[in-house]
Amino acid sequence: TLFLDRIERLDAALNAFITVDRDGALEAARAADARLAAGDAGPLTGIPLAHKDVFCTEGVLTTCGSKMLANFVSPYDAHVVSLLKAAGAVSLGKTNMDEFAMGSSNENSHFGPAKNPWDTTRIPGGSSGGSAAAVAARLVPIATGTDTGGSVRQPAALTGVTGIKPTYGVVSRYGMIAYASSLDQGGAFGASAADCAQLLTAMAGFDPRDSTSLERPAEDYSRELAAQAAARPLAGLRIGLPKEFFGAGMADDVRSAVEAALDEYRALGATTVDVSLPNAQLAIPAYYVIAPAEASSNLSRFDGVRYGHRAPEYRDLAEMYSKSRAEGFGAEVKRRILVGTYVLSHGYYDAYYLQAQKLRRLIAQDFQAALAGCDIIAGPTSPTTAWAIGEKSDDPVQMYLSDIYTIAVNLAGLPGLSHPCGFGAGELPVGLQLVGDYFSEARLLNAAHRFQ
């Protein structure tokens, strides 16, 4: 009950949770005690955690941050949720998020913004802002999130915790409410890389119910962390610094924290080399064609018939659809559905969607070329520290630009991690992003672990 009591005491100021499942948690904790007593403990038996409210949880509300699903109780668990139950973890509840995971600040939540525990007048980042805030405020030791364009790494950076998005296909998307299916990937938040490694180990794994789930042998992502401590534990590690990630646009306080972190990496034995991702600046435009296109298709299932909100009054079926969607979706979600249907429509498809797919391929090729000359790529996670609530709400393009360093990684399907690397102005946390080749999660986690 230590964590449940902290939630009760502190969450009113943070709004990190949409649902706190006290009864379910206590029941699961008793079951965990019984398993321990019987000598049948799983890897996470008795460890409290929280799930981003995008993961379906049987018998517990799953809102996806939307009015559309404000009363939705899923009849089944997401694959991630059932794996973590089986590992013995105890879910304390569901965390706040931008509606349908669309946003970078958590301000698009129907349930009001989550707050940054370092300064509650500031945003925690998004879209998994509630999970990040909950871990940062120690309301839970670990939490799940999803990352379509940065939604694990960016809030981790802005709240001073560690977050990892694995290679696309490592974590099953079954029961994870879809935003942009070719980019969506479950990820892990923790206070340290070691915690993230344990959580990721438990939530990863092949699932035939997700057609893009990868059939690979199970991995222990903590395996490299156990190695003997050495004076220069990262000797031989080549860290590539993409010049495009160190140009104008990065705030001075972020730059100095990142430079200091790189010095620390050199002291640990790593060497740094300059690399280039020449098409990196095309990632945001490509993403804001592809992600809305996929969203417009995925969100067509919310029609007032099968799930969630239905308008109370309508004249015919068409009006029921349109009123239910008009009432159920927030402004950002509507904007993306409109953009998505536009770029997919006849006559515009070739000009937008097809071009964006070509850019996506070029961006993925850039990473392969850069990774040919280094083991991991490092840079800032976010160009600034956490901004004030309301500061960017009226300017979607400014909001989109805050993901400038994270989005390319999703387009390429690569694993990415953000770990705290110091503080900027006003004692606000700064994150360092590490990106590696496909399936290099254990290496990224080890580097972050040695740094910590």
Residues in contact with ligand GLN by CB under 6 A are 101-104, 127, 147-151, 179, 291, 403
| Residues counted in the chain | 452
And the tokens for 265? 């990496």
Tokens of 409: 């990684």
61 pairs with which residues across the strands? 73
Q: Which is nearer to ligand GLN, 117 or 163 (CB)?
A: 163
Count of Cβ atoms closer than 10 Å to residue 368 Cβ: 12
Distances from the Cα of 73 to the Cα of 59, 80, 307, angstroms: 6, 17, 10
Choice between 97 and 193, CB closer to ligand GLN: 97
CA distance 417 to 324: 38
Q: Which amino acid is at 59?
A: G
Q: Which is nearer to ligand GLN, 87 or 407 (CB)?
A: 407
3-state secondary structure of 423: strand
Instruction: Find where tokens 């706190």 sit.
Output: 20
SS3 string, 344-391, reads HCCCCHHHHHHHHHHHHHHHHHHHHHHHCCCCEEEEECCCCCCCECCC
Comparing CB distances to ligand GLN, the nearer of 304 and 340 is 340
Strand order in the sheet with 90-95: 17-20, 90-95, 48-52, 142-146, 186-190, 162-165, 416-423, 429-436, 376-380, 238-242, 271-275
- Nearest approach, Cβ of 260 to ligand GLN (angstroms)? 27
Nearer to ligand GLN, 292 or 436 (CB): 292
Question: Is the bond preceding 151 in cis, omega lying within 30 degrees of 0?
Answer: no
Amino acid code (one letter) for 36? L
Residue 41 CB neighbour total at 10 angstroms: 14
Catalytic positions, please? 52, 127, 151
Between 419 and 450, whose beta carbon lies closer to ligand GLN? 419
From the CB of 403, what's the least distance to ligand GLN, in Å?
Answer: 5
- Residue 19 belongs to what H/E stretch? strand 17-20
Q: Find the angle CA(159)-CA(106)-CA(196) to the nearest 5 degrees.
A: 45
Closest distance to ligand GLN from the beta carbon of 278 (Å): 23
- Closest to ligand GLN by CB, 66 or 222: 66
